Amino acid sequence: MSWFANWFDSKYYHMLYKNRDLNEAKLFVKNLISKLNFNEGKILDVACGKGRHARLFNQLGFNVVGIDLSLNSINEAKIFENNKLKFFQFDMRKEFANEEFNIVTNLFTSFGYFDDLKDEQRTFNSIQKGLKKDGLLIIDFLNSQKTIANLVKNEVKEINGVSFKIDRFLKDKYLIKNILISDNGQKHQFQEKVHALSLADFTKLINNAGMEIINIFGNYHLENFEAKKSDRLIIIAKK
């Protein structure tokens, strides 16, 4: 089993990241809609997790489909389904639809998991096929240059009586996080492995899939991207 299938489907993944800021997500979604002047259409949220962003888009009136590899996440997301919000377990490397969506989103560093770079290109190719003509792709990824420069190598977190010992390092252009968990005398070990993709890397993947970048931002306020300073790399591409 791939590391991401194992880790993302575990209860400890959701425990470690339970404090993701909903207000920050709300700000980002509203800023995106305002900036893109998007007021109708259909959205595909790729690697949607429990559907945090998909639900926010839906609350603003959009027809949204969320897909994710984690069955546990999708089962939790399905609680919030309605006639304009649906969730499916699905591998983002595969084609989900054909020219059906106005916008495809991939948010909160939900990319760069694959060992084979061809899988990353397959994902972009599948996204492109799902977009209508002139449709938009929105990528929200960590700013790898700043992340590497400010990497916290070791950290321990205590959450609900569970200890998370986290070691971070860079190897072969992958940001790796080894996570040792102590829970009621039981030990568990997981790993996160994210390809430290640069803007140039994304540009190549996007162009190879027949899309072009039209905007780049550096944070959820959608301010200009600065490679050494920005917290995020947010890319808007067009089919």
- Who has greater pLDDT, 217 or 7? 217
Q: 218 — phi, psi (to 5°)?
A: -115, 0
Encode pLDDT of 126-157 as tens digits.
Answer: 999 999 999 999 999 999 999 999 999 999 99
Is the distance from CB of 121 to CB of 201 less than 8 angstroms?
no
Domain ranges of the chain: 3-143+197-238, 147-192
Residue closest to 41 by CA, chosen among 24, 21, 61:
61
User: Rounded to whole angstroms, how far apart are CA atoms 134 and 181?
Assistant: 46
* SS3 readout for the chain: CCHHHHHHCCHHHHHHCCCCCHHHHHHHHHHHHHHHCCCCCEEEEECCCCCHHHHHHHHCCCEEEEEECCHHHHHHHHHHCECCEEEEECCCCCCCCCCCEEEEEECCCCCCCCCCHHHHHHHHHHHHHHEEEEEEEEEEEECHHHHHHCCCCEEEEEECCEEEEEEEEEECCEEEEEEEEEECCEEEEEEEEEECCCHHHHHHHHHHCCCEEEEEECCCCCCECCCCCCCEEEEEEEC
Q: Which fold has domain 3-143+197-238?
A: Rossmann fold (3.40.50)
Reported pTM: 0.92
> What pLDDT, in 10s, does the model give residues 53-74?
999 999 999 999 999 998 989 9
- Mind listing the pLDDT tens digit for each residue in 43-54? 999 999 999 999
Name the average pLDDT for the chain.
94
Task: Name the helix (H) or strand (E) containing 187.
Answer: strand 186-195
Q: What confidence score (pLDDT) does residue 21 get?
A: 64
**Residue among 57, 67, 61, 136 at smallest CA distance from 96:** 67
Q: Which residue has the higher pLDDT, 5 or 162?
A: 162
Lowest mean pLDDT among 37-41, 185-189, 230-234: 37-41
Q: Which one is predicted more confidently, 165 or 17?
A: 165
Confidence of residue 210 (pLDDT cuts 50, 70, 90): very high
How do 154-159 and 162-171 pair as beta strands?
Answer: antiparallel
Look at 36 and 81; give whichever has higher pLDDT. 81
Q: What is the pLDDT of residue 18?
A: 75
| Over residues 75-92, mean pLDDT | 97
pLDDT value at residue 1 = 57
Question: Of 17-21, 41-45, 86-90, 170-174, where does mean pLDDT reach its minimum?
Answer: 17-21
Q: Can you give the pLDDT at residue 66?
A: 98
For the chain, the farthest-separated pair of C-alpha atoms sits apart, in whole angstroms, at 55
Higher pLDDT, 20 or 89: 89
Q: Angle 52-59/22-36 helices, nearest 10 degrees?
A: 50
